[in-house]
Amino acid sequence: MLSELGEQRDAIETAEDDGPAQSGGHDHARAMPAGTVREVFGVFARLGVTSFGGPVAHLGYFRNELVARRRWVDDAAYADIVALCQFLPGPASSQVGITLGLLRAGVRGALAAWLAFTLPSAILLAAFAYGVAEVDDVANAGWLRGLLVFSVAIVAQAVWGMSTTLCPDRPRATIAILAAIVVLLWPSAAGQVLVIVGAGLVGWRLLPRAATLPARPLALPFGRRTALACWAVFGGLLVALPLLSELTDRRDIAVADGFFRAGSLVFGGGHVVLPLLEREVVPPGWVTEAEFVAGYGAAQAVPGPLFTFSSYLGGVIGGLDMAALALGAIFLPSFLIVFGALPFWDALRTRAGFQSALRGINAAVVGLLLAALYDPLWTSAIEGRGDAALALAAFGLLVLWKLPPWLVAGLSALTGLALL
């Protein structure tokens, strides 16, 4: 389905079929890509091998590389994308990456962004399933500790930068702080969604509408008819795969069903998917409890999205082919859901009446990142004064001295190797 969408991007339904994408009352032709698939793949490949620290850290890496440095989108559009992906089930950071690739180079750009960001960790974890890696040696390595500490600095930089543009006044700064407090006291996916909804209502009722500027429509290469088709495919697979699994008793269909369902129904992403995956693979006897725990440990030592843990589980179940099947099945819902939601979200976000609500939502996104800077990043990466000192040094090099992140990451890894 995704490959067919990619092949049809340049000629995807004519005006009679899809109609011009409408956003906030503005009709506009489907946007031509501002970049190339090769460019998207190269940028996300570099992110895929350097983005340690989990999904919150990934959002910081994306903002630094694609908003602050390359200016693919502005801070307001980026916060809108993050807010949408927080609402949707699935891995939020991967969905943000898919969206950024889509906006830059169309459907093929979305596929390139996902492949480049996902494959490094997926390959490493599939190799670990064959016993190539030693999880204890890698997980306790000093260079990895240094990179985890660096992820604290990169998220702190993102919070610092986004707060200056999205929380420039007292009301929005207050919303951000209150959002952080609520999420710290109620650390759950439901809490995050309710905070975003509440901030939107507060912004809609209290933030002055006259001060808002019309948001620019996102450069989407398709419209609502394609979005509805994606929703239809998503719902069809969610219903058909369990039925096929029961009727055929084939392991590959059962694996596709289990991993597709895990990618479809989990809110909060990341670690939240682990109990779902455990229930899918351990009770049937496909993976032992010990193998599951060992793979989870290895997943902590690789960059990129935690959902690539699926490639390890697939490798244990049935080798390389099953690893590829599990990986594709768990991420396929993200493509269908994101493609299905974006045209409608874009139409909503560009309406004048929704702008005040979005200002509150964007402030809440800053608060969510601020809370995540403490938990899970600070609590998991900072174990002593040496870690804290390294995080402060990395933050200073990034924010004050404007050193490139790859250089600061390398210095952090070397420091961790030498001292931590």
Which distant-in-sequence residues (6+ apart) come within 8 Å of 192 by Cβ? Answer: 86, 183, 268, 368
Q: 170-204 as b/e, with b when 16 or more CB fall inside 10 Å?
A: ebbbebbbbbbebbeeeeebebbeebbebbbebbb
Render each residue's pLDDT in the chain as its tens digit; 420 residues.
Answer: 444 444 444 333 333 344 434 443 343 445 667 889 999 999 999 999 988 878 888 999 999 999 999 999 999 899 999 989 988 888 889 999 999 999 999 999 999 999 999 999 999 999 988 874 444 455 567 877 888 888 888 889 888 988 988 899 999 999 999 999 998 998 876 788 789 889 989 998 888 764 445 667 888 999 999 999 999 999 999 999 999 999 998 999 999 999 999 899 876 556 667 777 888 898 889 988 878 877 776 777 788 898 999 999 999 999 999 999 999 999 999 999 999 999 999 988 877 668 888 889 889 988 988 988 898 789 878 889 999 999 999 999 989 998 888 788 889 989 988 875
Tokens of 365: 């996104």
Q: Which of 10, 70, 8 is nearest to 42 (CA)?
A: 70
Residue-level pLDDT at 420: 59
Separation CA 368–CA 350 (nearest Å): 23
φ and ψ at residue 169, rounded to 5 degrees: -130, 170
Tokens of 36: 């190339």
Long-range contact pairs involving 121-125 (C-beta distance under 8 Å, separation at least 24): 121/48, 121/299, 121/302, 121/303, 121/304, 121/305, 121/308, 122/304, 122/308, 122/311, 122/323, 122/327, 123/311, 124/298, 124/302, 125/295, 125/298, 125/299, 125/302, 125/308, 125/309, 125/311, 125/312, 125/315
Residue-level pLDDT at 4: 42
Q: Which helix (H) or strand (E) holds 21?
A: strand 21-23
Residue-level pLDDT at 206: 86
Q: How many CB atoms sit inside 10 A of residue 208's CB?
A: 9
Residue-level pLDDT at 142: 81
Tokens of 127: 């190799």
pTM of the full predicted structure?
0.79
Helix (H, G, I), strand (E, B) or coil at 27: strand
Tokens of 123: 């390959």
Q: What is the DSSP string of 291-317?
A: HHHHHHHHHTTSSS-GGGHHHHHHHHH
Q: Is 231 exposed, middle or buried (0-12, 13-18, 19+ CB in 10 A)?
A: middle
User: Tokens 């670990």 sit at which residue?
Assistant: 128
Tokens of 287: 């993976």
Separation CA 314–CA 307 (nearest Å): 12
